[in-house]
Structure formats: C-alpha cells, structure tokens
Amino acid sequence: MSVWLFDLGNTRLKCAPLRADGRAGATMSLPHREEDVAEALAQALPERIEVAYLASVAAPGLRLAVLDALTRRCARIAIARTQARLGAVRIAYADPRKLGVDRFLALLGAHARGEGASLICGVGTALTVDLIDADGRHLGGRIAPSPTLMREALHWRAAQLPEEGGDYVDFAVDTEDALASGCDGAALALIERSLDAAERRLGRRPQLLLHGGGANALRPWLAQAVSAPKLVLDGLAIWAAVERAVPGAA
C-alpha cells in the first residue's frame, strides 16, 4: 500500500513515503506557492496513493491547494491534529488547539528517539523552542521570529537594509554582517538561554535537536546540537500508526 507523509509549513512543503518499518523515508521539498504546488505534487508522487497523512500550519489557501491536489490521487487523506496526550507524550498546553501541530509532532519524534530529555528548536518562519523530559512530558516552550523573518521585517520597514547576505561575527564592520550577526545572534541567544533554563529545570542539560529550513545556518554555532531534519515527519509517522490502528483515535 502506498502511504505518504506531508509536512506543510509556512515556508516549505516536505513529503516522504512511509516505509514498511513505520518510519519516514527519503524526504523531498517541493515548491510552496499555491499556483505551483499541484504541478509539483503531480511530478513527485505516484499516480495513485492509498493514504496521505497531512500536517499543516500553512495559510488556509495553500492548505486547500494541497488538499485539492492530493484528493485527485489519494483514496484517503487524514489530517493530523494536536492532542493532549499520545502514548507517553503529554503536552503542557491546557488547550491543545493552541499548540501548532508541527510542534506536537516534533515532540513525538523527539521522544521516540529514546535519548532522554530534549530541547527541540524548529527554525522556519518562526523560531520555536520546546522542552520535553525523558518521560515524554512537555514542559512548555517559546516562540520568536526566525532570523530570516527578522531580516524580512527590517527590510520591509527600512528598505535600505538588505534582507539577505552577511556573515555572523562578534562585532561586524559592515551592514550586511551586522544584520546577519544581530539576527542570527538573537536566535542563538534564545536557544542558549533556553538550554540554561532547561538545565536548571531538569538538573541536567538536555540534548539539543535542530530542525527546519533555517537550522543549518545556526548549527555551526551550537556545538552540542544534533540535526534532526525529519523530526516532524517522524512524529507524523507515529501519529499515522495510531490513526491506522484505530481510525479516529489519533
């Protein structure tokens, strides 16, 4: 049976086949614009898919475009949602609807690694930070603009400030480097401060998991970080397994 996983974010659409062992297979990143997504899916996917599992935090128009394209070739589509608890993972939010499904799935993926407590940092349109302990208890998180969004916002308000370019240095001597250093530095400071707070909370330093399209830019400055680019898709595979076993239970 052909089963596929789809992670539709604010900046990227990622998809992967579900392997026989229940894990996400090789990942593809596809065009993200409403007008391009149907053709991109048609070229990337098999002619027919039995089941598509979709996690989306994108704008309604793009989400509908993806659903329409999938409906043409899928026998069934299941849309992932955040739950108060799934297996050992329990979220900190009183209202599950307020926790983005991408963050929820990343918690599932992190806990399934079996490597103890984790600080999960997603670097996309937003920079998200979530702490989960070794028992699967989500202890809360933080949301901030990502470095990319910071640059875009500065450029929008002050067009003379370039939205790209520059390198991270401690003290820059030109505008491009100063922007890169300030925006990347703000993200790095938030992550490092969160790691310190997590260590105080847990009594030991958690592992740091990085995922998202902007993660590679920060990775060189976080020596302890572990790259986990498929974390949301791994979590979606776990959600899908529960949904397949008891339809409607997940």
What range does the domain containing 32 cover?
3-82+235-245
Decide the pairing of beta strands 118-123 and 89-90: unpaired
Both 156 and 220 in one domain: the answer is yes
Please indicate, yes or no, if residue 88 is contained in any of the structural domains: no
Domain count, the chain: 2
Percent above pLDDT 90 for the chain: 84
Both 12 and 71 in one domain: the answer is yes
What would the pLDDT profile of 59-80 be if each residue is shown by its tens digit?
999 999 999 999 999 999 999 9
Both 55 and 13 in one domain: the answer is yes
Both 60 and 122 in one domain: the answer is no
Please indicate, yes or no, if residue 250 is contained in any of the structural domains: no
Determine contact, residues 71/45, Cβ cutoff 8 Å.
no
Both 144 and 78 in one domain: the answer is no
Among residues 43, 92, 81, 2, the alpha carbon closest in space to that of 242 is found at: 81
Both 122 and 223 in one domain: the answer is yes
Please indicate, yes or no, if residue 92 is contained in any of the structural domains: no
Catalytic site residue 174?
A: no
Which pLDDT score, from 0 to 100, does residue 32 have? 78
What average pLDDT does the structure give for the chain?
Answer: 94
The catalytic position among 102, 130, 184, 234 is: 102
Determine contact, residues 150/137, Cβ cutoff 8 Å.
no
Both 123 and 53 in one domain: the answer is no
Going by the DSSP 8-state scheme, the letter that residue 220 receives in this structure is G
Both 120 and 213 in one domain: the answer is yes
Q: If you average pLDDT over residues 147-156, what whole number do you get?
A: 97
Please indicate, yes or no, if residue 162 is contained in any of the structural domains: yes
Which pLDDT score, from 0 to 100, does residue 250 have? 63
123 or 30: which carries more pLDDT confidence? 123
Here the CATH number for the domain that contains residue 56 is 3.30.420.40
Distance CA 163, CA 179 (A): 8
What would the pLDDT profile of 196-209 be if each residue is shown by its tens digit?
999 999 999 999 99
